[in-house]
Structure 1
Amino acid sequence: MSSTSRVRELNLYRRYFDLVAAGAKSIEVRVKYPHLADLTAGDVIRFRIKGTDETCEVEVKRVTEYAGFEALLDGEGPSAVNPTATRNEQLASIRAIYPPEKEALGAMAIEIQLLG
């Protein structure tokens, strides 16, 4: 981690946290909220399971913006986002977390690599 790296703390549901911690999930999906707009390659994200002390850190390799979640899943491939669920299952899960007015802000595919 270079001295210019910024560390962001983001909450993650356990089912996704476990995939990240195992190195099985290489794309994190987020809505383009203002506080994430300047996220860039080289930044570090510390994922935390909300309400616990469990964390894992990843390095951001790439950030790609999409108009919505369907375009993101088609562009990145569903298995990179969640290797344990189909595209349609993932779309339903993502939309259960982020309602349409949030999706309208734009979708971000954050390519991540687990830090040892």
Structure 2
Amino acid sequence: MSDTTTARRHELNLYRRYFELVAAGHKKIEVRVRYPHLTGMAAGDTIRFRIKGTEETCDVRVLRVTRYPDFEALLDGEGPANVNPTSGREEQLANICAIYPLEKESLGALAIEIELLAA
């Protein structure tokens, strides 16, 4: 059986504090709003994360993409330590909601399981 889907490459910006966790291999789940340009993201795709306004990048492989109705359900389903091992659930929820206002969250949430690729 052949797979006719082709892995795609995505470029996404990250705040420095999250970029550093990804680049160190500590952040296993990236959280995003289910924007139309991300709905086709799938296992096998790659993401190049960049700190906005810099040349600093790191590449990851997408292992899994799971949809959730909101950020609370995502944190409960994925486990806060996988999203950000340096802060607790309530702090993470507040940080995510500060990045994505309620009208964006209403689009749904994506948990993107990632694996750091060798530089």
RMSD over aligned CA atoms reads 0.5
Structure 1: distance between partners of 2:96 and 2:106: 13
Task: State the 1:110 CA deviation.
Answer: 0.1
2:108 — aligned with what? Answer: 106
Q: Deviations over 1:43-90 (max 9, x none)?
A: 000000000000000000000000000000000000000000000000
SS for the counterpart of 1:109 is strand
Kindly report structure 1 stretches of 4+ aligned residues shifted beyond 2 Å.
none
Q: Where do 5+ consecutive residues of structure 2 fail to align?
A: 1-5
1:36 — aligned with what? Answer: 38
Q: Where do 5+ consecutive residues of structure 1 fail to align?
A: none
The number of residue pairs the alignment matches comes to 113
2:48 — aligned with what? Answer: 46
SS for the counterpart of 1:75 is helix
Task: State the 1:5 CA deviation.
Answer: 2.4
Q: Show the 5 A alignment for 1:80-99.
A: 80-99=82-101
TM-score (norm 2): 0.94
SS for the counterpart of 1:85 is coil
SS for the counterpart of 2:72 is helix
Task: State the 1:101 CA deviation.
Answer: 0.3
TM-score (norm 1): 0.96
SS for the counterpart of 1:89 is helix
